Every structure is written in structure tokens, then in C-alpha cells.
Chain A
Amino acid sequence: MTQILVVEDELHLAEGLRFNLEAEGYQVRVVETGEAALDILQAPEAPVDVVVLDVMLPGKDGFAVMSELRQAGQFVPTLMLTARGHPEDILKGFAAGADDYLAKPFELAILLARLRGLLRRRDWLRTPVNHTVAKPQPTDTFTFGDKSVHFDLLELHVRDQIFPLTLMEANLLRYLIQHEGRPVSRKAMLEEVWGLHEDTDTRAIDNFIVRLRRYIEDEPARPRHLLTVRGVGYRFVAAPAAAK
């Protein structure tokens, strides 16, 4: 059964979320502090499939909890939920390593859809891992130039350096690689990778691209693999022509 951890100190909200998530068939655990959430999530084999994380928590706030988890190598899909809906707060959330961000007050249906989206992609990412268990040969890896993306390990290897990827970074990269050589619109990325069908602000994507470029480009300011397509979106090129 899918386990959801809700980190929320406002008991009314927490109980409302619990009721709805249980009605959707999930198993729900509610904790009130960031410290309690860290304890649960840093335990080996934490039985949590997705986390709903509030920002304004007593003690450690949501941003601190988020970055601490990611630094500790806990890449559980996480949706941050907060009353602070300013662009800088949203960007701070994503920078801390959140996979999704929703401002309060939120629409229940949208929250549920986003959680389903996170779970769907987690399963999608997990499937290749199961394949490797069955057949040891093919691994879920894509190599270009001196770089290789290990989707099953959520790692990017650049020469002898290893960068950990978040789930959303890996998903976005996978999507771009699947459309290698073709331009991909921001809207398509939002729909296919994030599972959103609304007019969401697309700047979050640009932020992801900036981070990906930092990993895979030798000179992030002059990208050769992850190219901007003016007015459309981005294009991934595995083997760019030799530098002029």
C-alpha cells in the first residue's frame, strides 16, 4: 500500500489531508515537526512513498528539512505545501530539492493530482530497476560524450565526477533525451514530466534547465547539449558538432 507522510503542524489541515488521502486508498502518517519527519525518513528503508511537507514548521522549517534530506541521499518524492506563495519562496523550495510546490489555500483535486503524478513517475522510474533484477544485462543508462546518466541510480557521471539527480531532474532529462534532437516546448515538459495541465508559470522549468546545464555542460553559459529554442523551449543534442 502506498505510504504518504504528511509533515504539517496545523492539526486541522493535517487531519483534513489524512481523511482525504485515506479515502483515496493511501496509508497516511502525520507528524508535526521537521525533526520527527527527518527521523522517519532517514531510517534505512523508510516505508514512505511520497512526502507532503509544510514550510512553516516549529523548529526546523520545511526548506531546512528538504535540503537536509537531499544531502543525506533521501530522494523520496516531495511536495512542499505552504502559505508562502511568492516566487522567491517557490524557487527556494525547488532549490532545496522539492519535486513540486503548492501554495495554500490549495484545491484538493489539484493536490491529489500532483501527488498521483509524483507517485506515477516514481513507479515509472522504479520499473527499469526491476528489469535489471530480472535480467542483469541491460541497465537504464544513457551515455553521451564523456557523460552518462544512470536513471536507476539517479546519478549523473561526468568523467570521474558523480552528481546526484533529484527525481524531477532525472525525469526531465529522460524526457529531453527521448526527444533527442527535436525541440521540446515548456508546455509539453510541464504536461509530460510534471503532469500539469494548467497555465502554470514555466519559470520553474528554466530553473531546472539551469541546474541540469551546470551538471552536463562544460561551460554552462555556452551550452552545447541542452540548447534553448527561442520562443519554444529546449532541445537536447547528444553529439553536438565539433566546436567551431
Chain B
Amino acid sequence: MITAGRRKSIAFYIAFGIGLILVILILYFGWVQLNWRHGALLILGILLLIIIISGVILNTISLVREIHRNEQKDAFINAVTHELKTPVASIRLYLETLQTRAVDEEKRKEFYRIMLDDSDRLLATIEQVLRTGRMGAAGRGLNLVRIDLGPLVEECVTRTRALHRIPPEAITFRPGAPVNIMADLEEVRAAVSNLIENAVKYSGKDVNVHVDTEQADGYVLMRVKDAGVGIPKTELKRVFKRFHRVPGPLASRVKGTGLGLYIVRSVAKRHGGRAWAESEGAGRGSTFFLKLPVAK
């Protein structure tokens, strides 16, 4: 329903733009018919015509873009609402349960664990939203320090394993030779852990993720390969856009805010590196790359 509404409004603005251009052309040719003898006027007319038509085209494009952006923002607010309210609802439910019912020791411990998980999830969402806000803020400098990417990736892998309670063989990490990069520790950690978290999130029940790092011509490259839902070719670039979520049933089974990969790409850019994705298509897994320059 939402997409139908959007197509309609976009189609309207495009038709409106084309209509205006047609009106201008008709007026113009009428005017040429009347004034074709005056050379200078004719040239002036052609120039004005080009300016007007490009103005209309630009206007239409920006309108369509604005509509698109608004929709993404709506979807984002919906997703964030869900991501914020669900853990709160869960924590609240368990607290009320503990408050009103007799709960045996074992259950009580399980409830505490669930509440801790939910508060982690809540915190992760809040941090992503705040981080995105900070990235948007101009003039915020990087706090560059010399770090070795290997141990940092190792730490993120261990944390993800613990968080999702997955066995060590489900996420393997093969570090390359130790190599230092100049980077903002907080930001690079966020980017690396977003990539690993994503690989697990989009893997479904059978997690099979391989992470490795290697050094090549002045850069260190981290690879995160999963056997999950995959990404259609047309979406490979778009997944890094802010608020963007791959449409369709496969990815919508996984909940998220559409910020994770945007953060990855921004971090890579701010460090003079690059982030990209490769996939054989939907259902065939995907590989994410993060490339950062080696410290001199």
C-alpha cells in the first residue's frame, strides 16, 4: 500500500514536470512562428527556453528525491520505534512478573539473563542512532591512535559469539600478519562489529561466518563472509545508504534500523578507506569488505 501510494505521487510529479515542459515548448514554437525574423531575440529565446526546461527537470528530480527520502525516514522511525519499544516491553513484562508472581530460583535467573539481553539490545540501538547523529555532525574530528586491526577483530568476534551464544566454529577468524593502522578506535570497533553482527543476523539458524584480515599494497583488508540470505545485485550498493533496508521478505525477517552499514561506510570513508559488498545473489550468502590504509 505504501509503495503504491509512493508510485502514484512520484508518477504525478513526473507527469506534472513533463506537462509543464510541453506547455513551454508549445508556447515557444508559437512564439518562433511569430518572431522568426529577429535573430537576436531567437537566440535569447532559445537560451531562456533551455534554462526554464532544465529548471523544471531539476525541480522534478529533487521533488521525487525528497519524497523518497521522506519515506525512508518514516520506515526508519517505524523500525527504531520497534527496536526501542520491544526490549522495553520485554524488560517491563519480566519485571512485572517478578514483582507479582512467585518465581523459582532457576526461572528467576533465566529472567535476569533475558532482561540483560534486552538491555544490551536497547543499548545497541541507542548507540547506533547516536553514532549516526555524530557522523552527520560536521567538524567532529577523529581521535586517531595506532591500532592493530587483528586483535580488535578478534575481540569483536568473541563478543558476538558470547552475545548470540554461538559455538566458536560457527564464526572463524583467521588473522593476517600484524599490521598497524591509524584509526579512531571507537569508530573502527563499531564498523567491525556491525559487519560481524550483520553476518550473524542475516545467517538465520545455521551460522557459518568466516572473518579474515590481510595486508595488500598499503591497505589492510578485512573480509566477512557468510552463508546467509545474500543480497540481490541491484542492492549491493544501496545497502550502505542511510536508512536503506533491502525490500522483500528475505531481509525483512531480520529487524534493524538501516543504520549499521551506513556507519560502516562512513567510518571507512573518514579513515581514507572503502567498504563494499559482494554476493552471488539472494539466498547465496554475501561477503563484506572493509579496507583501511596502513599507518605510515
A residues at B contact (CB < 8 Å): 10, 12-13, 15-17, 19-20, 23, 56, 58-59, 83-84, 104-109
Cβ 8 A contact of B93, one of A59, A84, A108: A108
Q: Is A105 within 8 A of B92, CB to CB?
A: yes
A88 to B98, CA, bound (A): 34
Decide yes or no whether B81 CB sits under 8 A from chain A. yes
Closest residue to B85 on the A side, CB-wise? A83
> Is B100 a contact partner of A19 (Cβ separation < 8 A)?
no
Shortest CB-to-CB span from B188 to chain A, Å, is 31
A-contact 0/1 string along B81-112, CB 8 Å cutoff: 11001111110111011001100000100000
Q: B162-173 vs A: 1/0 string, CB under 8 Å?
A: 000000000000
B148 at the interface (CB under 8 A from A): no
Q: Are B253 and A58 in contact (CB under 8 A)?
A: yes
Contact A59 B97, CB 8 Å, known A10-B86, A105-B92? no
Which of A56, A84, A107 has its CB near the most chain B CB atoms (within 10 A)?
A: A56
Q: Which residues of A contact B96 (CB under 8 A)?
A: 107-109
Q: Specify which chain A residues have a CB less than 8 angstroms from the CB of B107 in the assembled complex.
A: 19
- Contact check, B86 vs A83: say whether CB atoms are below 8 A apart: yes
Q: Are A20 and B118 neighbours in the complex by a CB distance under 8 Å?
A: no
With beta carbons under 8 angstroms apart, the residue of B85, B87, B89, B252 that contacts A58 is: B252
In the complex, what distance in Å separates the CA atom of A83 from the CA atom of B85?
Answer: 6
B266 vs chain A, min Cβ distance (A):
28
Residue among A12, A104, A108 making CB contact with B118, cutoff 8 Å? A12
- Contact yes or no, B90 A13, CB < 8 A: yes
Query: Would you call A105 and B88 a contact (CB within 8 A)?
Result: yes
Interface residues on B, range: 20 to 34
What residues on A are CB-neighbors of B101 within 8 Å?
Answer: 20, 23
CB pair B86–A13 under 8 Å, yes or no, is: yes
A15 & B92 in contact (Cβ 8 Å cutoff): no
Does B212 make an interface contact (CB < 8 A)? no
Contact A105/B114 with A19-B107, A20-B97 known, Cβ cut-off 8 Å: no
In the assembled complex, the Cα of A10 lies from the Cα of B249 at a distance in Å of 17
Most interface-central of A16, A19, A109 (chain B CB within 10 A) = A16
Query: With A10-B90, A13-B90 known to touch, is A59 a contact of B249 (CB < 8 Å)?
Result: yes
Q: Is the CB of B100 within 8 A of A105?
A: no
B-side contacts of A106, CB under 8 Å: 89, 92-93
- Cβ of A13 to closest chain B Cβ, rounded Å: 5
12 other A-B residue contacts (CB within 8 Å) besides A12-B94, A13-B93, A58-B253: A13-B89, A16-B114, A19-B107, A20-B97, A56-B82, A56-B255, A59-B252, A59-B253, A83-B89, A105-B89, A108-B97, A109-B96
List B contacts of A104 (CB < 8 A): 85-86, 88-89
> B: which residues have CB within 8 A of A?
78, 81-82, 85-90, 92-94, 96-97, 100-101, 107, 114, 117-118, 249, 252-253, 255
Q: How far, in angstroms, from A59 to B254 measured CA to CA in the complex? A: 10
Closest to B114 in A: A12
Which one, B100, B114, B249, contacts A108 given CB within 8 A?
Answer: B100
Most chain B CB atoms below 10 A, which of A12, A104, A107: A12
- Which B residues are in CB contact (< 8 Å) with A58? 249, 252-253
Chain A residue, CB-CB nearest to B82: A83
* 4 A-B pairs with the lowest CB-CB distances in the bound complex, closest first: A105-B89, A58-B253, A104-B89, A83-B85
Residue among A15, A23, A59, A109 making CB contact with B114, cutoff 8 Å: A15
Inter-chain contacts of A19 with B (CB < 8 A):
97, 107
**Shortest CB distance A95–B (Å):** 13
Q: For B92, list chain A residues within 8 Å (CB).
A: 105-107
Task: Tell me the minimal C-beta distance from A197 to chain B in angstroms.
Answer: 19
- A109: which B residues are within 8 A, CB to CB? 96, 100
Cβ B81 vs Cβ A83 within 8 A: yes
Tell whether, in the assembled complex, residue A16 and residue B252 are in contact, meaning their CB atoms are under 8 Å apart: no
Q: What are 25 A-B pairs with beta-carbon distances under 8 A? A: A10-B90, A12-B114, A13-B89, A15-B114, A16-B90, A16-B93, A16-B94, A16-B114, A17-B93, A19-B107, A20-B93, A23-B101, A59-B253, A84-B82, A104-B85, A104-B86, A104-B88, A105-B85, A105-B88, A105-B89, A105-B93, A106-B92, A106-B93, A108-B93, A109-B100
- In angstroms, Cα B90 to Cα A104, docked, is 9
In the complex, A15→B118 CA distance in Å?
A: 13
Nearest B residue to A107, CB-CB:
B96
A105 proximity list for chain B (CB < 8 A):
85, 88-89, 92-93
* Complex CA distance for A58 and B229, rounded to whole angstroms: 14
Q: Give Cα distance in the complex from A19 to B102, angstroms.
A: 11
Q: B197 → chain A, closest Cβ, in Å?
A: 18
A16 B97 Cβ-Cβ under 8 A: yes
**Which B residues touch A10, using CB under 8 A?**
86, 90
Chain A residues with CB below 8 A from B93, complex form:
13, 16-17, 20, 105-106, 108
Please, which residues of chain B bring their CB within 8 A of the CB of A107?
A: 92, 96
A17 to B26, CA, bound (A): 68
